[in-house]
Amino acid sequence: MQQAQQFARLHNFVLFEQPSPNHVLQLRFNADRLALYDSELNSSIDVDFIQGALAHREKFGGGKGQAIARAVGLNKPANRGRQLTVIDATAGLARDAFVLATLGCQLTLVEQSPVLVALLQDGIERALLSGDGHHAVHNFTNLVHAGSALYMEHMDADSHPDVIYIDPMYPERKKSALVKKDMQILHKLIGAAQDEQHLLETALQHATQRVVVKRPIHADPVAGIKPSTQISSKKTRYDVYVINP
């Protein structure tokens, strides 16, 4: 209750002690976890690194051969034996970030939405309290509530990361039945990406090795800015911008 009161006060949100019938999206402070509930879909999203799909991927995932690993450059000889530093400039539910963390990258998560930051904080705390000392969540070194372009512009020169990863919101698909419920909820909360060009241009000035942009497989590169290379998996493409090749 105290946590809910503090959060509502900080962000100027209305606090109800019972579920409200009049609000489509509701952040629910439940006993065991924080969740974002969608009353139209009767479904909710939360962040869980201990059980479910992410934990499964941590145990049985595709290793350094998977597309996202190749995109960030984990296979490069120069990166063998060192821990890559990555800023995830669009953290969202940190699913991609978690995959990178399981592969040994050290992650700074930056997210503009206070609701998602609260969900992430809750998921990270639960994972750390679970007592699994080897958990990849330990590779999340920082969770920042900020617009990423501003965050990058204010970084010290010696803290520029090897890689900046950007996953802008895809445009909303008309056939919503084809879109998973969690993505529909995220879309209602955030809407479509608006500043992806600025984000990419800023990232290109602040990564030391590369910038990676996740795109739908047939989409144009962000703002027509041609990547150095593209790595595709089934539905997703990673546009890779190599700095000083």
Ligand X SMILES: C[S@@+](CC[C@H](N)C(=O)[O-])C[C@H]1O[C@@H](n2cnc3c(N)ncnc32)[C@H](O)[C@@H]1O
Binding-site ranges for ligand X (CB under 6 A): 89-90, 92-96, 110-113, 116, 147-149, 167, 169, 190, 193, 195, 199
User: Are 88 and 148 within 8 A, CB to CB?
Assistant: no
User: Are 186 and 167 within 8 A, CB to CB?
Assistant: no
Q: DSSP secondary structure string, 62-124?
A: -GGGSHHHHHHTTTSGGGTTS--EEEETT-TT-HHHHHHHHTT-EEEEEES-HHHHHHHHHHH
Residue 96 or 239 with smaller CB distance to ligand X = 96
Residue 10 or 150 with smaller CB distance to ligand X = 150
Q: Which helix (H) or strand (E) holds 216?
A: strand 210-216
Q: Which residue's C-beta sits nearest to ligand X?
A: 92
Q: Least distance in Å: CB of 50 to ligand X? A: 16
3-state SS assignment for residue 204: helix
Residue 16 or 95 with smaller CB distance to ligand X = 95
Q: Least distance in Å: CB of 100 to ligand X? A: 10
Q: Least distance in Å: CB of 108 to ligand X? A: 12
Neighbours of 199 (CB within 10 A): 24
Q: Least distance in Å: CB of 77 to ligand X? A: 27
Residue 63 or 171 with smaller CB distance to ligand X = 171
